[in-house]
Amino acid sequence: MISPEEVMGCNLTLEVLRGCDYYCSDCTVDKGAETLDISDEDTKDILSLIDDFDERFYKKLEFTIGPTDFISADNGLSSLDHPLIKGLNERYISMVIPLVMLNDRGLDTLAAKLEESMPGGNVVINVPVTLKNMRNDKYRAMLDKRILYFKGMLRTVKLHHVNLNVNVMLGNAERITADEDRYLQGLQFSAKTAIEYAFGHSRKGLNNILTTEELKRDIALYSAAVRGLADTKLNKFLVPRTYDAIELVFRNSKLYYLPIVFERFPMFIPEFEIPKPWTADKVAEFKEKVVTDNLIYFSENKVCSNCCFLPNCARGDVQTMTRMLSFDNCLIGMKNRWDLDPFSYVYGRDSDNELE
Ligand code: SF4
Ligand code: SF4
């Protein structure tokens, strides 16, 4: 019998929005690249893939429509009428949309459209934020007011939760510390609030030495912050557990497996492309191959071969990153740190953050 914890999450992101009116300082999204040009064949193939994920083994948690601000994107509202989005709404627990929420414009229209297209459904909003703004009382009050305003306009649709999305680069990376993470994890707005980190560097491509150096530095800063939370309920090990969710991205008619090392790395390169026909078995095989390839790589690698976390890092995509960054040291800064128990990862948001 499979316990609920062993049922693997299965999340899908559609990168189909084009255009954005904003200029976030740490944005790495190519705002003009995508179109909601999803063929009937791809619609059928994606829906049949999602149906193929057996409910006993996979839980269809969230699908995301991105990558740009949903209201200012050229095709945000109209995307909700697309048969693929409608079909995913029937299958997934929640739909996630990015909303920058810097003004009220369009929030009423969006609420009305959600009521029309997915009555009774769950919506999650991803708000791109900076750590600097999160320490600004005025900004937080403004954001909370808008979340409340938006929530108040929803009648049957539930605002399931709000994700504060932090891009771990530039000013954010410089500010991230264990205390800062603890502060962020403690923030609650007028809807249940969670923090999500991502490394946007990979969107710029990792063939530029400046980008790779920046990524190495930011990984080190993030890793130090996470290590500072060891032995607390906020501790999180830096590579995924066996049953962590499978993350897939559909983009330009291709389906990608999303590598996770510390957080999500959007990497739209052939190595991560899942060929058609898309089936749940193919995705599982792809994941297995990542683990096997990583194990082979690590066992031959002078740094990792004698490390206690070898199986954990093989399960993540540390190997791919290590190779792409030509890194000859422990990428995640945890070599043989027995004290950082990989199994003590807790999704803890309790008032008492310390472990008993
Ligand atoms: S809202 Fe998103 S896409 Fe638009 S500028 Fe900000 S981060 Fe970039
Ligand atoms: S040395 Fe670092 S990257 Fe290599 S297996 Fe150990 S923890 Fe992972």
For the chain (356 residues), the mean pLDDT of every run of 10, in chain order, is 68 94 89 79 97 90 95 95 97 97 97 98 97 97 98 98 94 92 94 92 85 90 83 66 79 89 80 93 90 86 86 77 79 77 44 36
Ligand 2 neighbours (beta carbon < 6 A):
298, 303-304, 307, 309-310, 313, 318, 330-332, 334-335
Strands 254-257 and 58-66: unpaired
Residue whose CB lies within 8 A of the most ligand 2 atoms, among 219, 305, 331, 337, for a mutation test: 331
Question: In this structure, is residue 164 part of a structural domain?
Answer: yes
What is the maximum alpha-carbon separation in the chain? 58
Give the HSE-up count for residue 333: Cα atoms under 13 Å, Cβ half-sphere.
14
Question: In this structure, is residue 334 part of a structural domain?
Answer: yes
Question: In this structure, is residue 33 part of a structural domain?
Answer: yes
Question: In this structure, is residue 138 part of a structural domain?
Answer: yes
Domain of residue 311, residue span: 292-347
> Residue 350 has which token pair?
């309790």
pLDDT at 351: 37
Question: In this structure, is residue 23 part of a structural domain?
Answer: yes
Question: In this structure, is residue 90 part of a structural domain?
Answer: yes
Query: Cα–Cα distance between 135 and 35 in angstroms, integer?
Result: 35
Ligand 1 neighbours (beta carbon < 6 A):
20, 22-24, 27, 29, 31, 68-69, 98, 100, 128
Distance, CA 56 to ligand 1 centroid (Å)?
Answer: 37
Q: What is the DSSP letter of 201?
A: G
Question: In this structure, is residue 163 part of a structural domain?
Answer: yes
Q: Are residues 47 and 174 in the same domain?
A: yes
Distance, CA 334 to ligand 2 centroid (Å)?
Answer: 6
Is residue 18 within 8 Å of residue 73, measured between CB atoms?
A: yes
Instruction: Count CB atoms within 10 A of the CB of residue 135.
Output: 13
Residue whose CB lies within 8 A of the most ligand 2 atoms, among 329, 334, 336, 338, for a mutation test: 334
Which ligand does the CA of 167 lie closest to? 1
| Domain count across the chain | 2
Query: Cα–Cα distance between 13 and 27 in angstroms, integer?
Result: 18
Return the ligand 1 atom nearest residue 67 CA: 3
Is residue 263 within 8 Å of residue 197, measured between CB atoms?
A: yes
DSSP of 251-303: ETTEEEE--BSSSB----SGGGBPPSSP-HHHHHHHHHHHHHHHHHHHHT-TT
Which ligand does the CA of 15 lie closest to? 1
Residue whose CB lies within 8 A of the most ligand 1 atoms, among 69, 101, 129, for a mutation test: 69
Question: In this structure, is residue 68 part of a structural domain?
Answer: yes
Q: Are residues 61 and 174 in the same domain?
A: yes
pLDDT at 239: 64
pLDDT at 1: 46
CATH of the domain at 182: 3.80.30
User: Given 182, 198, 214, which residue is the final one in a domain?
Assistant: 198
Which ligand does the CA of 328 lie closest to? 2
Q: Whose CA is nearest to atom 3 of ligand 1?
A: 68
pLDDT at 347: 39
User: Given 198, 222, 253, which residue is the final one in a domain?
Assistant: 198
What's the Rg (C-alpha) of the chain? 20
User: Given 151, 183, 198, which residue is the final one in a domain?
Assistant: 198
